[in-house]
């Protein structure tokens, strides 16, 4: 596989000229900046849009090259072609000997942070100009073979721009709450202004994004003619991008996970994708062990692409998307990480700044699943989380091969949660 196949888009740093320009559905505003690693929304048949896998690769390659050229001061690619923060290494709970070895190589500590909720401590090091970032990591691992260290990888939003399947009641207690780790949310939108909850990231500033607002609307949105999966839920939204070219790092995602743990948000949606990373893996494992349900989009790099993360980590609920005809999106990832399927095409979503757009991608399937699970799991609890997830999976419509399969997982849920753009237009015109 060529290195470019593994390249990751950085969220909303995508240049306008690198995005596909598609015809607008009459009466519904377009959702600009809609990219799910490769393509995240369409309003024309996919065979006309994605004629070959080469087109997918070329689009991603062009976008990533542009990002690296424009922001080479803060972003670079690792040996596999995955994007990461320039000249940064992340050490997990390093010993004094490991820090001494790093200092001997000329690595300088930038910051240190502990997340007791995740039983994690990180030390972020700056790599000197005399060493390449990958070279520094190799040397450090050679000096300290037991050291847990990695790059500070970047994770792109897996998509840009209603009651569901029956679930047996679990007598949940407490308010319905759902977590979102994504870009910023425009809570002034008419579909979101009712949503209580909390916000995290960007030093307290609000940096609303198209993607974060769209996903939030599918989780908790409520407006005339529009409803998300759990419209009465409290929304706890963490912005890990803050409109920065090096936003969405593994460090920022783990910091958001720690906040969710402190707030005891049981169900968390992550419509973002990237490479495996040791820091992120341990952060995810800590929350899964505590009984949180992490729902993640499997990504849109195509069925033959390597698995993307965090959806492919153990215990994460990986979600793929289908079109209104129940056919899997051709760009959707496939493999054992796929657990559930939900609508992921021709989906109406709220736009930052007002109005609605049309979305496509696995990014938009994930929040429909997360919303259903949040209504049933009010507190983190390992046994309850497993039971709630099994009930939803058992109610799924089996598609593809009988039983669980790598294309549809356990099957389709939330089919009646998709807000049809034409119907939304008609209802709002009344």
Residue 193 has pLDDT above 80, yes or no: yes
Residue 10 lies in a domain: no
Residue 49 lies in a domain: no
Handedness of CA 208, 210, 212, 214 (dihedral sign): positive
pLDDT for res 2: 32
Average pLDDT (210-227) is: 96
* Same structural domain, 127 and 244: no
Please choose, from the candidates 118, 111, 104, the residue with its C-alpha nearest in 3D space to the C-alpha of residue 89. Answer: 111
Q: Which residue has the tokens 């070959």?
A: 52
Separation CA 274–CA 345 (nearest Å): 22
SS3 340: strand
pLDDT for res 157: 75
* Same structural domain, 98 and 245: no
Q: How confident is the model at residue 88 (pLDDT cuts 50, 70, 90)?
A: very high
Q: Higher confidence at residue 174 or residue 82?
A: 82
Residue 22 has pLDDT above 60, yes or no: no
pLDDT for res 58: 53
Q: Are 164 and 368 in contact (CB under 8 A)?
A: yes
pLDDT for res 175: 85
Separation CA 146–CA 98 (nearest Å): 9
* Same structural domain, 258 and 327: yes
Considering 109, 125, 153, which residue would you say is the last residue of a domain?
A: 153
Q: Which residue has the tokens 């979503």?
A: 349
Mean pLDDT estimate for the chain: 84
Average pLDDT (139-167) is: 75
Residue 69 has pLDDT above 70, yes or no: yes
Structure tokens at 201: 């990231």
- pLDDT tens digits for 262-308? 999 999 999 999 999 999 999 999 999 999 999 999 999 999 999 99
* Same structural domain, 283 and 386: yes
Q: How confident is the model at residue 420 (pLDDT cuts 50, 70, 90)?
A: confident
pLDDT for res 106: 97
Q: How many domains does the chain have?
A: 2
Considering 117, 135, 153, which residue would you say is the last residue of a domain?
A: 153
Handedness of CA 158, 163, 164, 166 (dihedral sign): positive
Q: How confident is the model at residue 422 (pLDDT cuts 50, 70, 90)?
A: confident
* Same structural domain, 122 and 252: no
Residue 55 lies in a domain: no
SS3 315: coil
* Same structural domain, 168 and 202: yes
Domain CATH for 197: 3.40.50.200
Separation CA 93–CA 252 (nearest Å): 17
Average pLDDT (331-352) is: 96
Average pLDDT (135-153) is: 97
What percent of the chain has a predicted confidence (pLDDT) above 90?
76
Please choose, from the candidates 165, 229, 216, the residue with its C-alpha nearest in 3D space to the C-alpha of residue 189. Answer: 216
Considering 135, 153, 171, which residue would you say is the last residue of a domain?
A: 153
Residue 26 lies in a domain: no
DSSP percent split of the chain into helix, strand, coil, nearest 5: 30, 25, 45
- pLDDT tens digits for 233-274? 999 999 999 999 999 999 999 999 999 999 999 999 999 999
pLDDT for res 278: 98
Q: Higher confidence at residue 46 or residue 154?
A: 154
- pLDDT tens digits for 314-332? 999 999 999 999 999 999 9
Q: How confident is the model at residue 14 (pLDDT cuts 50, 70, 90)?
A: very low
Whole-model pTM above 0.75?
yes
Residue 76 lies in a domain: no
Separation CA 384–CA 242 (nearest Å): 34
State which residues form the domain around 391. 156-429
Residue 234 lies in a domain: yes
* Same structural domain, 182 and 113: no
* Same structural domain, 139 and 178: no
Give the residue ranges of DSSP H helices in 221-302: 250-263, 278-290
Residue 30 has pLDDT above 50, yes or no: no
Domain CATH for 101: 3.30.70
Average pLDDT (186-209) is: 96
pLDDT for res 65: 79
* Same structural domain, 306 and 367: yes
* Same structural domain, 198 and 273: yes
What percent of the chain has a predicted confidence (pLDDT) above 70?
81
Average pLDDT (65-79) is: 90
């Amino acid at each position: 596989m060529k290195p470019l196949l593994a390249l990751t888009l950085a969220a909303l740093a995508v240049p306008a000229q690198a995005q596909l320009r598609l015809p607008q559905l009459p009466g519904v505003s377009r959702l600009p900046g809609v990219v799910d690693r490769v393509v995240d929304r369409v309003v024309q048949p996919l065979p006309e849009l994605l004629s070959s896998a080469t087109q997918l690769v070329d689009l991603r390659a062009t976008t990533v090259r542009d990002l690296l050229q424009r922001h080479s001061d803060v972003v670079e690619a690792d040996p596999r072609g995955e994007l990461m923060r320039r000249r940064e290494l992340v050490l997990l709970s390093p010993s004094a000997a490991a820090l001494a070895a790093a200092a001997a190589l000329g690595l300088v500590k930038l910051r240190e942070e502990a997340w007791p909720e995740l039983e994690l401590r990180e030390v972020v090091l700056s790599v000197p100009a005399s060493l390449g970032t990958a070279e520094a990591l190799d040397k450090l691992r050679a000096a300290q073979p037991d050291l847990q260290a990695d790059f500070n990888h970047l994770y792109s939003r897996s998509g840009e721009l209603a009651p569901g399947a029956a679930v047996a009641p679990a007598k949940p207690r407490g308010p319905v709450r759902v977590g979102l780790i994504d870009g910023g949310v425009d809570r002034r939108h008419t579909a979101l202004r009712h949503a209580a909850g909390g916000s995290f990231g960007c030093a307290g500033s609000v940096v609303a994004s198209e993607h974060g607002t769209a996903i939030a609307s599918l989780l908790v949105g409520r407006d005339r003619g529009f409803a998300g999966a759990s419209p009465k839920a409290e929304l706890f939204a963490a912005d890990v991008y803050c409109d920065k070219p090096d936003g969405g790092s593994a460090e920022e995602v783990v910091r958001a996970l720690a906040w969710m743990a402190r707030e005891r948000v049981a169900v968390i949606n992550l419509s973002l994708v990237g490479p495996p990373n040791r820091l992120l893996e341990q952060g995810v494992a800590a929350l899964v062990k505590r009984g949180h349900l992490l729902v993640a989009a499997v990504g849109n790099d195509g069925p033959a692409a390597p698995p993307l993360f965090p959806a492919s980590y153990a215990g994460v609920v990986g979600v793929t998307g289908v079109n209104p005809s129940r056919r899997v999106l051709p760009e959707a990832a496939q493999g054992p990480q796929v657990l559930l399927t939900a609508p992921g095409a021709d989906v109406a979503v709220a736009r930052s700044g007002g109005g609605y757009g049309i979305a496509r991608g696995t990014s938009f399937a994930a929040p429909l699943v997360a919303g259903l699970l949040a209504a049933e799991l009010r507190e983190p609890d390992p046994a309850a989380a497993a039971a709630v997830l099994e009930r939803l999976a058992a109610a799924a419509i089996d598609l593809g091969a009988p039983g669980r399969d790598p294309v549809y997982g356990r099957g389709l849920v939330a089919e009646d949660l998709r807000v049809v753009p034409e119907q939304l237009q008609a209802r709002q015109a009344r």
